[in-house]
Structure 1
Amino acid sequence: MELGYSFCPNDTFIFYALVHGKVPTPFPVTETLEDVETLNRWAFEGRLPLTKISYAAYGRLRERYVALRSGGALGRGVGPLLVARAPVDNLVDKRIAIPGTNTTAFMLLSLYGTGFFPVEMRYDRILPAVQSGQVDAGLIIHESRFTYPRYGLVKVLDLGEWWEAETGLPIPLGAILARRDLGEAAIRSLDRAVRSSLEYAYAHPEETLAYIKQYAQELEEEVIWAHIHTYVNEFSLDVGEEGERAVAELFRRAEAMGLIAGSRLPNFLPSLRSAKIRLD
């Protein structure tokens, strides 16, 4: 079973035990690490049976994939940031570097305002592009949230704060998806394995560090643990009812703006309390 996830510390922390044989799995699991926009594009091809993905991309893939209850990234105070060299009054006519058109960050910025010109680039190249004046502002995710002041940049907008003020809900960022054709029994077993992997990481955090550092953009342990503590939380263990409402609200707003099509299929693997709901 091939599993795709990003280089970011929250993902390598969560999946360390799963890919190193520390927890039981229904199938042998091998990892493929890529940036999240590459994983998004691969999901449109149905390339991986199990993959991390942006919720924005998932909104367009609900007929093929279903989200696991465990392993995702939702929360409060974790939203994408818009940064620039100096304060920006509005987005109109601004060239804004974005980490991909399929990312949740870009969907949230599109829900917030229009009239800007997106410039797509890999997430780790955005801060230097803003610093050099190549773009007017940058939409940052992952470790960049903690390091942008080093580039002499200022925060213009916190899309997490905006979302929470608008909805009162946590912000959905990324999910772990399984192809629906795997069948519910296999998907439920994989969900249990992902949760077990995260529980192992919580119990043995230092054991995960060498693996995390193989792929992290920033190697400072303070930044690594800040990243993990920010993006790995109770929603990563189980999305819960509140997390499900947050994702449903994101999709509702995106559908209303014509950014994604609707779907009648469940967004998540049903909890055991609602297991009578069919995935297909």
Structure 2
Amino acid sequence: MAEEPFSVYYSPCPNDTFVFHAWAHGLLPGAPPADVTLADIDITNDLAARGTGDVLKISYAALPWVLDDYALLPCGGALGRGCGPLVLTREPGPVDAAGLAGKTVAVPGERSTAYLLFRLWAAAHVPGGVGEVRVMPFNAIMPAVRDGQVDAGLVIHEARFTYRDCGLRQLADMGEFWEGSTGHPIPLGAIVARRGLGEARLKAIAETIRASVRAAWSDPAASRAYVLEHAQEMDPAVARSHIDLYVNDFTAELGQAGHAAVRELLDRAAAEGLVPPVSPAAL
């Protein structure tokens, strides 16, 4: 009898399609089958919170709400240096972080790691706090800032490479804040798998994802059409820069440094009352 495929959810962003291409297309001998659905990470965060799906890419900030049902896998996610979310404004917007006090800021999903980092940063740099926070799809934030619908926007993904084309400027880099205050790399997106699958299958899934990462690195051209098909009309050079930034050694193996970064993020956020506390054993 054929093995039932795992339900696998990840985003259409270039780093995810690059990482999962080999597994999704049956290119890994002996790998378990995968039934793949592409969805933005705010959707996968919600799916995991509802216990839907076997393997999902979610925000590290969403982990505290799902760890009863899902285990953090040691590979496949997005964690690195120099890749943090950015706070953008229009000219002649606020001249410094304090200028955001009382302003309207657009952010991606409420349980996005970007928003969690922003909240930690704003507590230290924006006296009195920002005014209204508007949650928007990540690809709607730059246009909203450009068109004056909001005073500033917290952006992720390829916006790091394209914001100047919208006439915007960087007010703050959440990665610089995080790395400067902790010394850790920046935890952004995690891969989780349903605990009910059992230890043996969780290990097999992790080994498959790691093999998929290595296959992508060994033959980058193989995934190019798949990446660009789902890259939402992104320039191929931007897609390549996106992959180069977000797919790194931590993607193949989270390791001690990666786990320490995740632990620091969740501990700091819990101390501020932003997420539920997470026991060390849960990670």
**Shift in Å, 1:265:** 5.5
Cα distance between partner residues in 2 of 1:14 and 1:26: 15
8 Å contact kept, 1:5–1:33: yes
8 Å contact kept, 1:143–1:217: no
1:7 aligns with 2:22: no
Deviating more after overlay: 56-65 vs 12-21: 56-65
Q: 1:57 aligns with which of 53, 62, 65?
A: 62
**Shift in Å, 1:216:** 0.4
Provide the TM-score with structure 2 as the length reference.
0.92
Cα distance between partner residues in 2 of 1:267 and 1:97: 32
Q: 1:106 aligns with which of 94, 102, 115?
A: 115
Q: 1:125 aligns with which of 127, 135, 140?
A: 140
8 Å contact kept, 1:81–1:158: yes
**Deviations 1:182-214, CA, capped at 9 Å, x for gaps:** 111100000000000010000110110100011
Q: 1:220 aligns with which of 227, 235, 242?
A: 235
Letter in structure 2 aligned against 1:11:
D
SS at match of 1:83: strand
1:11-50 mapped onto 2 (5 Å cutoff): 11-24=16-29, 26-50=31-55
Cα distance between partner residues in 2 of 1:120 and 1:231: 23
Cα distance between partner residues in 1 of 2:276 and 2:38: 29
Letter in structure 2 aligned against 1:105:
A
1:139 aligns with 2:144: no
Provide the TM-score with structure 1 as the length reference.
0.93
**Shift in Å, 1:106:** 0.3
Gapped runs of 5+ residues in structure 1? 269-280
| Count of residues in Structure 1 that have an aligned counterpart in Structure 2 | 268
**Deviations 1:68-99, CA, capped at 9 Å, x for gaps:** 11101000000000001035232321111111
SS at match of 2:170: strand
RMSD: 1.2
Q: 2:218 aligns with which of 196, 203, 217?
A: 203
**Shift in Å, 1:26:** 4.9
Deviating more after overlay: 43-52 vs 24-33: 24-33
**Deviations 1:29-69, CA, capped at 9 Å, x for gaps:** 01111111111111110111110000001122221111111
Deviating more after overlay: 128-137 vs 83-92: 83-92
The verdict on how the C-alpha distance between 1:147 and 1:222 changes in structure 2, with shifts beyond 3 A counting, is: same
Q: Between the two proteins, what is the percent identity of the paired residues?
A: 44
1:90-101 mapped onto 2 (5 Å cutoff): 90=98, 91-101=100-110
8 Å contact kept, 1:82–1:140: yes
8 Å contact kept, 1:63–1:263: no
**Deviations 1:125-182, CA, capped at 9 Å, x for gaps:** 1111110000001100011111110000000000000000000010100010001111
The verdict on how the C-alpha distance between 1:18 and 1:153 changes in structure 2, with shifts beyond 3 A counting, is: same
Cα distance between partner residues in 2 of 1:262 and 1:64: 16
Letter in structure 2 aligned against 1:252:
D
Q: 2:88 aligns with which of 83, 90, 95?
A: 83
Cα distance between partner residues in 2 of 1:47 and 1:219: 29
1:129-208 mapped onto 2 (5 Å cutoff): 129-208=144-223
8 Å contact kept, 2:23–2:31: no
Cα distance between partner residues in 2 of 1:9 and 1:26: 22
8 Å contact kept, 1:52–1:176: yes
SS at match of 1:177: strand
Gapped runs of 5+ residues in structure 2? 1-5, 124-128
Cα distance between partner residues in 2 of 1:236 and 1:65: 19
Cα distance between partner residues in 1 of 2:280 and 2:205: 20
Letter in structure 2 aligned against 1:93:
G
8 Å contact kept, 1:127–1:138: yes
SS at match of 1:79: coil
Structure 2 residue aligned with 1:71: 76
SS at match of 2:27: coil
